[in-house]
């Protein structure tokens, strides 16, 4: 934990979630609780801004109306706001108010030498609590310009004294132990409102009781009129005898499984194709999403914004299975390259990597593809992998 | 798309226990929908009807080359209407809910080729007959399905599980909707069935298969399915939509020449 890299951060309590990692802070409305746990894992393990953004967007933008992301790099600060949040950024170059214009996906800035950032989510309260790595329920978050006055506008005090986020030791004030002390108090106080079951835990490296296997509660149960929130399941007479017994349970965020067990889920949004596939049939397909190849390929359980590209290839001798092979942008260690998986085809797939002997793909095991690789599906159909 | 001819049949029954039929369905080729509403006091039936109305609007201005997009839009419009309707009612009756499942089948053009685009929210189901066998295509958004996936219970245990009617995704959910989509080649679907859980909860898959395999006319097949569900106890509204693609030759190889010859010989054409 490198506290010296950080601008001192403070917050006012509220019902938004702040997921605070060493490098990246994500602010999400209360309704996004199901995203918080996963993001915390990533933020806590030192995930980069790109990785956190990737995870944040994995469920699609349509279900993510509002968020803010603040990432502090070596010499600049990256800021993204979508929907409601408003950020006031002070830097030696001046002050700027950043909001997402209506109709845009978000507003994004990379600002060098930031002295303070104030992100207003709901209301504009006094930022009287220290924000340290962990989770907090917030309404306003302010980075930098902290020690002066809780509610002071970040601008004046911030610009006068250019305390850079970038400098390894900008101010001697926060001692190395300080974050641990601070964390135990205000952060947990806010947290325990949301999760009454969790006893105020001591300062510990796991400040997030989110993964606890309690029933999920979305927002305040008191005013939760939802189908999926706190609706009691079977006994509830509101629901039990209404229609044919079908009742709505809680939403299950973990229900989306990768198509192949044990593999990381491919990023649903990749900014650019990771490879091109040149088919012996003459087709050329770019890998900017999942590509399914077969004699009569079927795509199953995809989201509306993530429709796989299905490529039908001829197989007069039926050597190629109906849905034979999947090629998609890699995730995790394979990020930036295409990976191929034989989907349990009858006759298998042969992969020839440049300079290596051809080998059979093992069904269900993803293999990273490099430019020059050739996949042989049978019946004379081959796929050559090239740069996009 | 022009040369795809669809024959279809639909049936719905309130059952023996319910007072109101909260199921709704739409047959507007090439758009087919079954929706199973939840929520009493004119909640569920209105919610499921709203889904049908939005897909009716889709069918009136349907562009098969933008099928997936239009289906997603129709879901979005239905969701917005159900949420608004629920909010308006809750102002008068706190705690009031309305929601609905939906299964949708539309023909789309994917790279100029006609395919089935299927979508699912909740525990209504989509089945197909492929190579003479019944196969469930959709995967329920339900608690018991999650338990099955987790290996905690078997499909047999799920049928009697106390939470078997609890669904995890639905239209009307303020958490947003996350329908599952499926894209299937036309030739892989000999017959398609959309139905509410009032059918699948009352009769076994083997009986569904027997009816779909033995009853040639899709109108009769839909009737038989619903009547069988009612005869088995009719504890829930039961709705079935059966769709056949006519003139399609089952030919796994997709060899167009062979397919054409086969079609011509079957139709008694140019000999």
CA-nearest of B19, B16, B55 to B34 is: B55
Comparing C-alpha atoms, which of B234, B261, B259 is closest to residue B248? B259
Decide if A239 touches B, using CB distance below 8 A. yes
The tokens for A163 are: 């305390």
Do A322 and B40 lie within an 8 Å CB cutoff? no
Which domains does chain A carry? 3-194 (no CATH), 276-386 (2.60.200.20)
Interface test with A, best of B41, B181, B199 (most A CBs within 10 A): B181
Q: Does B256 touch chain A (CB under 8 A)?
A: no
pLDDT digits (tens, 9 = 90+) for B6-49: 999 999 999 999 999 999 999 999 999 999 998 766 789 999 99
Query: Cα–Cα–Cα angle for B159, B161, B166, nearest 5°?
Result: 95
* Structure confidence at residue A264 (pLDDT): 57
Domains, chain B, with CATH or none? 5-267 (3.60.40.10)
- pLDDT value, residue A122: 78
Q: Do B97 and A234 touch (CB under 8 A)?
A: no
CA B214 to chain A, closest CA, distance in angstroms equals: 26
Instruction: Give tens-digit pLDDT for A212-265.
Output: 333 332 333 333 333 333 333 333 334 433 445 566 665 544 444 445 555 555
Do residues A292 and A310 lie in contact, with contact meaning Cβ atoms separated by under 8 Å?
A: yes
**Chain A partners within 8 Å of B169 (Cβ):** 228, 251-252
pLDDT attached to residue A306: 85
Say whether residue B251 is in contact with chain A using an 8 A CB cutoff: no
A20 CB-contact burial (10 Å; exposed 0-12 / middle 13-18 / buried 19+): buried
Tell me if residue B194 falls in helix, strand or coil: strand
Q: What ipTM score was computed for the predicted complex, to two decimals?
A: 0.82
- A145 phi-psi bin (left φ>0, alpha ψ -120 to 50, beta other): left
* Pairing label, strands A309-312, A291-294: parallel
Write the residue in B38, B139, B142 that is nearest to A242 by C-beta. B38
Q: B90: which chain A residues are within 8 Å (Cβ-Cβ)?
A: 225
- Per-residue pLDDT at A15: 84
Q: Does B93 score more than 60 pLDDT?
A: yes
Does the CB of B235 have a partner CB in chain A at under 8 Å? yes
Question: Searching chain A, which residue's CA lies closest to the CA of residue B202?
Answer: A244
Q: Which of A61, A45, A77 is nearest to A69 (CA)?
A: A77
pLDDT of residue A52: 86
Least confident of A110-114, A380-384, B105-109, B264-268: B264-268
Whole-number Cα distances in Å, A180 to A132, A194, A204? 8, 21, 8
List, in order, residues 6 or more apart from B78 with CB less than 8 Å away: B50, B51, B53, B54, B55, B102, B171
Q: What is the pLDDT along chain A (388 residues), one digit of tens a residue?
A: 444 445 688 888 888 889 888 888 999 988 888 888 888 888 888 888 888 888 888 878 888 888 999 988 778 888 999 888 888 888 888 888 888 887 788 888 888 888 888 888 877 778 888 888 888 888 888 887 644 433 334 333 333 333 344 444 444 444 444 444 444 333 333 333 434 444 444 444 444 444 433 333 233 333 333 333 333 333 333 443 344 556 666 554 444 444 555 555 555 556 688 999 999 999 999 999 999 999 999 999 999 888 899 999 999 999 999 999 999 999 888 888 999 999 999 999 999 999 999 999 999 999 999 999 999 999 999 999 999 8
- Residue A117 CA to residue A88 CA, distance in Å, equals 6
Residues 19-58 of chain B with CB under 8 A from chain A are 20, 22, 36-40, 43-44
A318:B163 CB<8 A = no
Q: Which of B176, B182, B235, B256 to mutate to test the interface with A (most CBs of A within 10 A)?
A: B176
B-chain CB neighbours of A245 within 8 Å are 165, 235-236
């Amino acid at each position: 934990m490198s506290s010296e890299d950080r601008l001192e951060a403070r917050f006012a309590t509220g019902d938004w979630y702040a997921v605070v990692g060493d490098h990246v802070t994500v602010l999400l409305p209360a309704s996004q609780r199901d995203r918080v746990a996963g993001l915390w894992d990533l933020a806590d393990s030192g995930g980069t801004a790109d990785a956190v953004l990737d995870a944040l967007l994995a469920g699609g933008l349509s279900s993510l109306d509002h968020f803010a992301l603040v990432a502090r790099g070596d010499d600049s600060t990256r800021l993204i706001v979508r929907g409601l949040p408003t950020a006031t950024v002070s830097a030696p170059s001046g002050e700027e108010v950043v909001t997402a214009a209506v109709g845009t996906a978000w507003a994004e800035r990379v600002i060098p030498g930031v002295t303070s950032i104030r992100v207003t989510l709901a209301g504009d309260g006094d930022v009287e609590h220290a924000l340290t790595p962990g989770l907090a329920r917030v309404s306003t978050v302010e980075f930098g310009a902290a020690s002066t006055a809780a509610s002071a506008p970040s601008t004046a005090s911030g610009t006068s004294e250019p305390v850079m986020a970038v400098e390894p030791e900008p101010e001697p004030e926060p001692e190395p132990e300080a974050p641990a002390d601070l964390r135990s108090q205000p952060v947990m106080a806010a947290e325990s409102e949301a999760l009454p079951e969790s006893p105020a835990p001591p300062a510990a490296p796991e400040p997030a009781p989110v993964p606890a296997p309690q029933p999920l509660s979305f927002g305040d149960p008191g005013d939760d009129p939802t189908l999926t929130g706190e609706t009691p399941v079977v006994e509830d007479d509101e629901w039990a005898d209404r229609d044919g017994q079908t009742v709505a349970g809680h939403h299950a965020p973990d229900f989306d499984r990768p198509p192949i067990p044990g593999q990381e889920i491919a990023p649903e949004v990749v900014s650019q194709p990771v490879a091109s596939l040149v088919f012996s049939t003459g087709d050329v397909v770019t890998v900017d999403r999942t590509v399914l190849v077969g004699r009569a390929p079927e795509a199953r359980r995809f989201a509306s914004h993530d429709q796989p590209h299905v490529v039908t290839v001829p197989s007069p001798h039926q050597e190629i299975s109906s849905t034979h092979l999947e090629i998609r942008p890699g995730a995790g260690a394979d990020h930036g390259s295409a990976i191929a998986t034989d989907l349990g085809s009858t006759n298998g797939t042969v992969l020839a990597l440049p300079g290596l002997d051809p080998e059979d793909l093992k069904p269900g095991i993803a293999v990273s593809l490099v430019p020059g690789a050739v996949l042989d599906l049978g019946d004379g159909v081959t796929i050559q992998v090239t740069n996009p | 798309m022009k040369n795809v001819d669809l024959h279809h049949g639909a049936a719905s029954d309130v059952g023996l226990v319910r007072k109101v039929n909260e199921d709704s369905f739409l047959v507007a080729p090439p758009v087919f929908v079954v929706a199973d509403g939840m929520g009493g006091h004119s909640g569920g039936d209105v919610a499921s009807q709203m889904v049908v109305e939005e897909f009716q609007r889709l069918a009136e201005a349907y562009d098969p080359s933008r099928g997936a997009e239009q289906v997603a839009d129709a879901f979005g419009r239905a969701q917005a209407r159900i949420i608004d309707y629920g909010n308006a009612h809750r102002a008068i009756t706190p705690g009031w809910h309305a929601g609905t499942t939906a299964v949708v089948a539309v023909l789309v053009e994917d790279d100029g080729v006609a395919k089935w685009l299927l979508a699912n929210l909740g525990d209504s189901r989509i089945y197909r007959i492929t190579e003479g066998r019944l196969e469930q295509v959709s995967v329920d958004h339900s608690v018991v399905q999650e338990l099955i996936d987790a290996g905690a219970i078997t499909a047999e245990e799920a049928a009697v599980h106390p939470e078997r009617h609890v669904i995890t995704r639905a239209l009307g959910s303020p958490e947003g909707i996350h329908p599952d989509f499926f894209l299937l080649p036309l030739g892989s679907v000999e017959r398609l069935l959309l139905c509410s859980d009032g059918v699948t909860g009352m009769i076994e898959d083997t009986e569904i298969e027997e009816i779909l395999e033995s009853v040639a006319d899709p109108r009769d097949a839909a009737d038989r399915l619903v009547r069988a569900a009612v005869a088995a106890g009719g504890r829930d509204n039961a709705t079935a939509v059966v769709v056949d693609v006519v003139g399609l030759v089952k030919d796994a190889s997709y060899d167009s020449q062979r397919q054409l010859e086969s079609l011509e010989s079957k139709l008694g054409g140019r000999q």
